[in-house]
Structure 1
């Protein structure tokens, strides 16, 4: 008999329906498994069940590229599929996600084999549909389990609000609808661990102890550092030295529980040990070689507050969960220590990783698996507010705003208006609430500086520098493509200095420098990865030659980019202007100078002409 309170039942139904609606509207199910981490996890599944080429992967990668020719070859990525000293290839991603995806894969495999309409190769539509839907199914199951746990400590109303907040005002929605990665599955695993831990301490039993070990092992199998999740069952309910002593005595009297939990953990993790031994001849080796941790300099502050995917920048509603931890002892005694300890260790470990921005994701994705724990903080924060009508109304309005913000930014990600992993404060402010990219947002993305909102209020004061490459003696001068005059610049590989000493003696703090050039990219010079295209740098240096400010832009991406897309690589065979404004800072001194130089990391073939630096001042 279903004893779920009606308000929670309605909340769970809303989560299920709106996740499915978002899945349909965002409409990435038929491409998500072809790229990125989603693809890397799924390669394990197709290799094992379809091609039986584990340790080689040639047939699996060939089938991927036959199904989607645009997919990159992971063997060509230095951090993709690599060789061990044993001569076998390996996928660095662990087996937890493939194991969790397998039931849905097998359903799709049976479907594809039962009909002639689809190829049973692991890449046709039944597979893409079933596996991408698996995240939503696991998340819905996770929310159901979490509701059972939260109801023990909070009212039905508070529990329903917490569930809806996590589902729609955080990046859980992004992971339900946009990608097929580890974090949605880990959310479910942590909910399951909490639920079983509660049941274990209600009525301890050997089967439950073994099950807890299995879940912790599956969590570690999904992301190895998550093995710290074992702190939850060990410390759940501990809030003092006396309760810690009681917990110690509890396990001393019942060692079988620890042995069975350890057995379950080892059993769940054993497929990974077997895989590592098969590909390398070692039970353990570092599959992330070259992608290390620096535990002496964790980037927790940036991971939470930086505009490059910072957790609380893109998921600000979760600040309530941290505030609520200070009140948690009133609602859930004995839960603060394990929650705070695990979340703290989790942040310390994950933000010691070299790639702390964690591409891809709308906000910092490693925090998603902590949400079942931080749900207690949300509940403790919301509970007193929901007791008073005026406070509840204010909370409701605030949560509606955070929900709109999260769903709207998910839509912006879909449309390519924002790119949270590469964001900055200026770009965030320029794109906040916008329905389409603008010149201002595009330049802010490159330069990390907001541009003048209304250039009508500015006027050109003087021309500080101009180079048209007319002198025949200039290095790398070309006459093949010219915007104006008789010459243009064909930059070499590496760095090329346009000018080291542009005088700024007439300038004042707050003046703007408009830096511009014309660019022409032949079709043969097009580089689809704009990060590898030629870069223009502008540096302000003081009298001692110390750099005081630097801005950059990628000129070719502005050619023919009428939509101002940050993804644009440039339209070939036409001239276009690239320009930006640089504001002189408050500490500017007249003896500072401007340096302009180019960097051409990939040797892009591009012609540049009419480089100018103009000083702009406010109109009188």
Structure 2
């Protein structure tokens, strides 16, 4: 339960309140937790910095929401016979129950928002559509309610409800709730700071928008100051944490060059329409939200502009993340789930319109709703049972397994390449790939002073990196992946007692390496005063951009002189390109 990303969200609580080690300096307790409970295969949830501290990658918003249930579990763990280590069963169940409670609160406030616009009939229909017809169902039923999007949905519902209440009565208590809600949402996921657009752009009435907005700010300026103060108070613990651990009040913890926000080149089309994880492909019922925008424009024009502005920016930000499919844990585009609070309003307006239509139109639309709900429920089950692949979906595979409860080996051939979590994957399936030579160096160029008369390249402490390949991905292949086979011969002198040389392969984004892999000859297998063949396979990663470059070379880590020869690199491109 407390695994993968959730492990990172939660790590603030046990590290501070149990182990008094916010900097994660003492790795003994952390290694014990990882070995005992297996929350993650690597500690990708934290980043080591120069002062020796580890910075938790995620902001602490979810830890704050987990906290009441963490403390309750800490009180009962030992009396129930479990270790009070932050990860035993009482903690896991308590946090999960807490997530369920937050989900129920979220649905209650979601209904309250809808009832501001619609009667109970329309509200009930929209609740059914959102819960059973979208990936919110998978998020709450299968994912255990402890991922960030469940909590964000709840706080978005609270924020939207009290925004409506503030615009109706202008009470200061609503301003306080708005401020803390905006702050907490931002503290959970900083890019969700765009939630401030909801209270900022919300508008009631049909009078001149800008004139009335300026008048409102002037009349209730103290409320605006209160909201800003509440946001700052909510964010302050994170700023103090960063200052304590890093010495800086602001710190960017997403240091992996292989992922990040690509604002200039968002992946919007794939994010919405790709069979890999496209939102409209796997949550097609949300098309009705965009149809409903037309009717929303006619009925609630000021709110139409607020919702459209927010959704456009939200989709832009969500699709700007380089790993736009949000890895294996996401059925459809889970990053948009919090926005359902707003998108439900145009759905409600559409349902209201259909309700007044002839019975034949109503039956037709409701039949579509029912069909899409059933597809969503079935595909949620498929996803959970690895029939819908979590990361490797293609259009051909989607239609091949549509409606199936089992997958054949022929079906699996239609998937994207399997990118295992292990550091090394062995490439054996050469029959489905085309081989091409991309680098060969037999070191016969006598001009190079580091060559001997036999055409062999010297490496020593002053020349520790060999020549090698440096090629952009776009020049390497047009496919979604390529296998690389690397081989070289290394002469190890007699009485060599230093670290064996390494073959190195990595991609670089703006000169920063990622998917860095090394391979060395096992010391027990070294042949001294003789040539040793060293080789390994390398699968290209999901590159950040097509401009990222692949570097492969030999790294000599010792001082004694060694020799390199026959450095050869092949690329294997798939014959069937996805």
TM over 0.5: yes
DSSP-derived class of the 1:191 partner? helix
Correspondence 1:127 to 2:91: yes
Separation in structure 1 between the aligned mates of residue 435 and residue 351 of structure 2, nearest angstrom: 49
| 2:167–2:204 CA contact under 8 A, matched in 1 | no
Residue by residue over 1:483-511, the C-alpha shift from the partner in whole angstroms, topping out at 9 and shown as x without a partner, is xxxxxxxxxxxxxxxxxxxxxxxxxxxxx
Which residue is equivalent to 1:355? 323
Q: 1:380 to 1:212 in 2, by over 3 A?
A: same
Between 324-333 and 161-170, the greater mean CA deviation after superposition: 324-333
Structure 1 distance, partners of 2:421, 2:226, is 54
Write out per-residue CA displacement over residues 165-194 of structure 1, whole angstroms, 9 at most, x where no aligned residue: 111111111111333311111000100001
* Residues 174-229 of structure 1, C-alpha deviations (whole Å, 9 max, x = no match): 11133331111100010000111111111112222122111100010011111111
Match of 2:270 among 287, 296, 302: 302
Deviation at 1:92, TM superposition (A): 0.9
- Tell me the SS of whatever aligns to 1:601: strand
CA RMSD after TM alignment:
3.0
Equivalences, count: 444
- The answer (yes or no) to whether the contact 1:147–1:163 under 8 Å persists in 2 is yes
The DSSP-based 3-state class of the residue aligned with 1:326 is helix
Counterpart Cα distance in 2 of 1:540 and 1:72: 33
In structure 2, the partner of 1:439 is 409
The reply on whether 1:266 has 2:232 as its aligned counterpart is yes
Contact 1:540 1:549 in 2 (8 A): no
Distance, in Å, in 2 between the alignment partners of 1:138 and 1:96 is: 14
Per the alignment, residue 5 of structure 2 pairs with: 37
Deviations 1:240-264 (A, max 9, x none): 7812211111111221111100000
1 CA distance for matches of 2:413 and 2:339? 35
Q: Does 1:533 pair with 2:400?
A: no
- Which residue of the other structure, out of 278, 302, 324, is the alignment partner of 1:334? 302
User: What is the distance in 1 between the residues matched to 2:423 and 2:185?
Assistant: 37
1:445 partner SS: coil
Contact 1:308 1:421 in 2 (8 A): yes
Superposition deviation, residue 532 in structure 1:
2.7
Matching of residue 252 in structure 1 with residue 229 in structure 2: no
* Structure 2 unmatched ranges of 5 or more: 437-474, 484-534, 541-573
| TM-score, normalised by the number of residues in structure 1 | 0.67
- Tell me, in whole angstroms, the C-alpha distance in 2 between the residues paired with 1:277 and 1:231: 29
SS in 2 for 1:190: helix
The 5 A counterparts of 1:75-94 are 77=44, 80-94=45-59
Contact 1:118 1:125 in 2 (8 A): yes
Shift in Å, 1:600: 2.1
Determine helix, strand or coil for the equivalent of 1:293: coil
Say which of 98, 103, 110 aligns to 1:146.
110
Q: Distance in 1 between matches of 2:155 and 2:187?
A: 11
> Does residue 23 of structure 2 align to residue 55 of structure 1?
yes
Supply the distance in 1 between the matched residues of 2:254 and 2:5 (Cα, whole angstroms).
14
**1:384-399 alignment runs, 5 A limit:** 384-388=353-357, 389-399=359-369
Give unmatched runs, 5+ long, in structure 1: 1-31, 449-526, 555-597, 604-612, 615-620
Q: Check the 8 A contact 2:70/2:95 in 1, yes or no.
A: yes
| Structure 2 SS opposite 1:340 | helix
> Is 1:379 the counterpart of 2:274 in the alignment?
no
- 1:191 paired to 2:157: yes
- The SS at the match of 1:268 is helix
| 1: CA distance, partners of 2:476 / 2:17 | 56
Contact 2:295 2:350 in 1 (8 A): yes
Q: CA deviation at 1:81?
A: 1.7
- Cα deviation, 1:262-319, whole Å, max 9, x if unaligned, reads 0000011111111111111111021112332221111111111111211111111111
Contact 2:2 2:39 in 1 (8 A): no
Match of 2:137 in 1: 173
CA distance in 2, matches of 1:602, 1:85: 30
Using the alignment, how far apart are the partners of 1:540 and 1:59 within structure 2?
46
* Structure 2 Cα separation of the partners of residues 422 and 364 of structure 1: 15
Q: Name the CA shift for 1:87/1:169 in 2 (closer, same or farther; >3 Å).
A: same
CA distance in 1, matches of 2:148, 2:14: 17
Match of 1:401 in 2: 371
Partner Cα distance (2:166, 2:64) in 1 = 25
CA contact (8 A) 1:108 1:126 kept: yes
Paired residue secondary structure (1:33): coil
Following superposition, the deviation at residue 420 of structure 1 comes to 3.8
- Cα contact 2:289–2:347 (8 A) shared by 1: yes
TM-score normalised by the chain length of structure 2: 0.71
User: What secondary structure is seen at the aligned counterpart in 2 of 1:51?
Assistant: coil
Q: Secondary structure in 2 aligned to 1:90?
A: strand
Instruction: Indicate conservation of the 8 Å contact 1:170/1:403, yes or no.
Output: yes
